[in-house]
Amino acid sequence: MKANKIKADIAIALDYDESSAPRVTAKGRGLVAEEILKLAAENNIPIREEPEIIELLATVELGDQIPETLYVAVAEVIAFAYSLKGKSVGGD
């Protein structure tokens, strides 16, 4: 997908360093969402579309860790990202 053709109503970026719960590092709607997705694509960051999870993550404040209620859903997203990189969670 070309970066200039990315359209999104909402986008959420997470940071996960394996030492704590993932944090919301960017979020936005409309043009901000498109810019988040454009930057992710330019930096080869995996993008996964899960509308239900995205809407729940949108309620998390920027910089906050995700709540325990979202651990399983977000773990699936992280596992997806790791699989694209040929890694396993907790390993190389």
Query: Residue 22 carries which DSSP code?
Result: -
pTM: 0.72
Confidence at residue 91, expressed as pLDDT on a 0 to 100 scale = 52
Confidence at residue 11, expressed as pLDDT on a 0 to 100 scale = 94
Task: Work out the widest C-alpha separation in the chain, in whole angstroms.
Answer: 36
Q: What residue ranges in the chain does DSSP mark as E strands?
A: 10-15, 23-29
Rounded CA gap, 81 and 78, in Å? 5
Q: Could you give the domains of the chain? A: 3-84 (3.40.1690.10)
Residues in the chain: 92
Confidence at residue 5, expressed as pLDDT on a 0 to 100 scale = 46
Q: Which residues of the chain have pLDDT under 70?
A: 1-8, 87-92
